[in-house]
Amino acid sequence: MSMPSFPRMRESMLRKDVLRHIAALTTGLLLAGAAHASALEQFKSFVSSTKAAKGEFVQTQVKNTNGDTPKAAKSSSGTFVFARPGKFIWTYVKPYDQVLQADGDQLFIYDKDLNQVTVKKLGDALGSSPAAILFGSNDLEKNFTLSEGGARDGLEWLKAVPKAKDTSFEQITIGLKDGLPAAMELKDSFGQTSVLKFSKIEKNPALSATSFKFVMPKGADVFNN
């Protein structure tokens, strides 16, 4: 059997090199395109592909005074888990233990130190609240006007302005990176801003049917609002 000539071998090697470079270039362009997707595109993709999620957060309360540089007032941290629509457990671990838990119908606010539980009807109140951004239905544009907020701090930002006039929040901005929410800023009508930073987000974890069922603590004082 005759061996291929050197020119043919070199042509074959060059062709393979070209194909490898084209494949690498195509992959690079696809990754670059995903990395530079707009905030609105990233967020809509996150909402449509995420039925449930869990992670950790750090929340900082920032207060504006007379137009001066905003100063951090206090911070807290904890964990969260949610399943759409309207089911979530938002747990504050520091500086005090408090749990906000919704089962899709009712909202339970549990203060561990005082052993008190406040029960509220979830109802339509979730619709235009900040919680609806992460935990509500997929129909966000029903309750919020969404627009691009530009790039800042390595994130692509999305602006969400509540359409309802009776909400206490003027504007909510969400910072996204690699298709996941990394930060959220909540500006209220009193000039205060709450800044949330998210980490260790896991999409669509395995959750049981009873994951969001609130178990009333023994001996707790219960207040119904």
Tens-digit pLDDT profile for residues 112-135: 999 999 999 887 556 556 677 777
Owner of token pair 């509500």: 136
More confident residue, 26 or 97: 97
**pLDDT of 181 strictly over 80:** yes
Please state which of the ranges 9-18, 136-145, 155-164, 211-220 shows the lowest mean pLDDT: 9-18
Share of the chain above pLDDT 90, in %: 47
For 43-100, the pLDDT digits (tens) are 989 988 999 999 999 999 886 655 555 555 678 999 999 998 889 999 999 888 999 9
Q: Which fold has domain 39-200?
A: outer membrane lipoprotein receptor (LolB), chain A (2.50.20)
Q: Provide DSSP, 6-46.
A: HHHHHHHHHHHHHHHHHHHHHHHHHHHHHHT--HHHHHHHH
Query: Residue ranges per domain, the chain?
Result: 39-200
Rounded-to-integer distance, Cα 56 and Cα 160, Å: 22
| CA proximity to 183, closest of 47, 43, 49 | 43
Q: What is the pLDDT of residue 71?
A: 58
Q: What is the pLDDT of residue 189?
A: 80
Rounded-to-integer distance, Cα 61 and Cα 71, Å: 9
Average pLDDT of the residues in 30-49 = 72
More confident residue, 115 or 27: 115
Confidence label for 36 from pLDDT (cuts 50, 70 and 90): low
Rounded-to-integer distance, Cα 154 and Cα 184, Å: 14
| CA proximity to 54, closest of 23, 79, 86 | 79
